[in-house]
Amino acid sequence: MNARPIWVSAEYLGGLVAFHSLPNSKYQPVLAGVTIKFLRPATSDTTAETIFPNKDAKLMRESLLSKGRFDFSIHILVRDSIGKIVAEVDGDYVIKDFSNLM
């Protein structure tokens, strides 16, 4: 498998984490940086997984409401169809209201 689908699945997961926890739709997550370690070839479908605890979601909502911005990092594992880790991803995200830039 080409590296692009692995990158996309990991990057997309960070956005999903944010959208699932956002207080309202005016806030948008943006990828600020990513580091990927490709550990083995992916020769099947892949899935990406991460943990974003409820305490971090609460901190996100509080920070967005008080400061209008939240920076966070997540660690993502990408696995093949038999569960072997094919990549590890560390993503840094910024969430804020970007509507003033339009």
Which pLDDT tens digit goes with each residue over 52-82?
999 999 999 999 989 989 999 999 999 999 9
Question: What is the domain range of residue 17?
Answer: 3-96
Q: Judge whether 101 lies within some domain.
A: no
Return the C-alpha torsion angle 66, 69, 75, 76, nearest 10: 110
Rounded to whole angstroms, how far apart are CA atoms 94 and 91?
10
Q: Judge whether 79 lies within some domain.
A: yes
Q: Can you read off the two tokens belonging to residue 51?
A: 């943990």
Mean pLDDT of 29-51: 91
Confidence band of 13 (pLDDT split at 50, 70, 90): confident
Q: Judge whether 33 lies within some domain.
A: yes
- Greater confidence (19 vs 74) lies with 74
Q: Judge whether 28 lies within some domain.
A: yes
pLDDT at 102: 59
3-state SS class at 101 = helix
pLDDT at 7: 75
Question: Which CATH number characterizes residue 14's domain?
Answer: 3.10.129.10
The total of structural domains in the chain comes to 1
pLDDT at 98: 78
Q: Judge whether 102 lies within some domain.
A: no
pLDDT at 88: 95
Q: Judge whether 14 lies within some domain.
A: yes
Q: Can you read off the two tokens belonging to residue 93?
A: 């995200």
Q: Judge whether 54 lies within some domain.
A: yes
Q: Judge whether 72 lies within some domain.
A: yes
State how far the alpha carbon of 56 is from the alpha carbons of 14, 43, 66, 73, 74, in Å.
Answer: 13, 34, 15, 11, 11
Q: Can you read off the two tokens belonging to residue 4?
A: 């692009």
